[in-house]
Each structure stands twice: as structure tokens, then as C-alpha cells.
Amino acid sequence: MQGDPGSQMLETLLTGAPVIPVLVVDDVAKARPLAEALVAGGLPVLEVTLRTPAALDAMAAMADVPGAVVGAGTLLGPDDVAAARNAGAQFGVSPGATPRLIQAAQEQGLPLLPGIATPSEAMTLREQGHRVLKFFPAAAAGGVDMLKSLSGPLPDLRFCPTGGIGHDTARDYLCLPNVLCVGGSWLAPRDRVAAGDWDGIRTLAEEAARLPH
């Protein structure tokens, strides 16, 4: 079975750094310096979640940062896909997957990292050609043990686990052969973003970029 072209692009993209920062941006004015700090720290692939009114404008601002590869997270339906594409997103991330969401991403030409939490969900997406999946919510859905279990019957799938992962637990996931990277919100604490502590955020990124990968 031929793989989805978007999955092939995502696999190349997600092997570039061990961690994708998962970002909740409240203030558009903070978007560009936040992206600059993360890219300077060695984490160029960024996920901006569509959880705030500022998200789309923040995404557009980050897309102009040299070296940044900006994706849209929390895509729930076709309208989100279209809005993310228009804002300059180069890929999309969803907590789950529905037929309408998958179709919209294909029609928009937006590579999608669809979320799964069970073997059946993974198998369904595999039948559709997807080879790179988000495992969410990782910690609550079985964590490292679940991913180890999935590697036997589904050896051709690769995962980006997200949800409940921090710097101290990220390496446990990254050492698994079926994990390309992890997603984490610890890279951009809201208090540091609000304070404009870009040096501190760059330091967090540098520490994450050094994780075994």
C-alpha cells in the first residue's frame, strides 16, 4: 500500500529536531520573538494551537521568521484547515481524525499529523496511507508502554507522542524506534512568554534540542 505523500513529508520534517514546541499564544506581539527564541535554540518546527483568538495571526507572524516551520494544532474540522492554510501553516496537527478532516487536509494540500489513542484508530489511518501519527494524549493513553506494544503489530508506523510529556520524560519516548519526536508545551511557559523572557525560552529550547534523538 502506497503511503500518503503528506506522511512522507512529515517524517522528513519531524526527524529534524527531537521536540516540537506546542504553543498557546495569547498576544500576537509575542509571536515573532517567541519563534525567534525557539529557532535560535535549535527547535525550528513549531505547532501553534488554535486555542486563542490570536492563534492565526500569531501563526502568520511566526511563518515570517527565518528558519521557522510553522504548523497549526488543534485542527478539528474543514474550517480550521482552511484558516490554517491561509495563515501560512506548512502542516497541521489534530487531536484525533475524522473523515471530513482528513479530506479537507488533502484538498487543501496540507500535510496532516492526525491523532490516535488506540490500535484501531492507528489501523484505520494506516489503511488510508498514513504512516506518521500523533499519539495523544500520550501519558493518559498508556505512554511509553503503549508505544512499545504498538511497534510489534504496526512496525511501519511512526509517532509523535504529545500530552503530559515534559523534559524529564521526553527521553523515555525518544529512545523508542517508532518515535520520531515528541510534542511539548514546557518549552514556552505562559509566564515566561508574558514576561518576554526570550533568553530563558531559548535556554529551554537548547536543552530540549540536546535530547537523544
Active site includes 36?
no
Catalytic residue among 134, 148, 206, 207: 134
Show the 3-state SS of the chain: CCCCHHHHHHHHHHCCCCEEEEECCCCHHHHHHHHHHHHHCCCCEEEEECCCCCHHHHHHHHHCCCCCEEEEECCCCHHHHHHHHHCCCCEEECCCCCHHHHHHHHHHCCCEECEECCHHHHHHHHHCCCCEEEECCCCCCCHHHHHHHHHCCCCCCEEEEECCCCHHHHHHHHCCCCECCEEECCCCCHHHHHHCCHHHHHHHHHHHHCCCC
Active site includes 148?
no
Catalytic residue among 30, 36, 47, 107: 47
**Which residues have a catalytic role annotated?**
47, 134
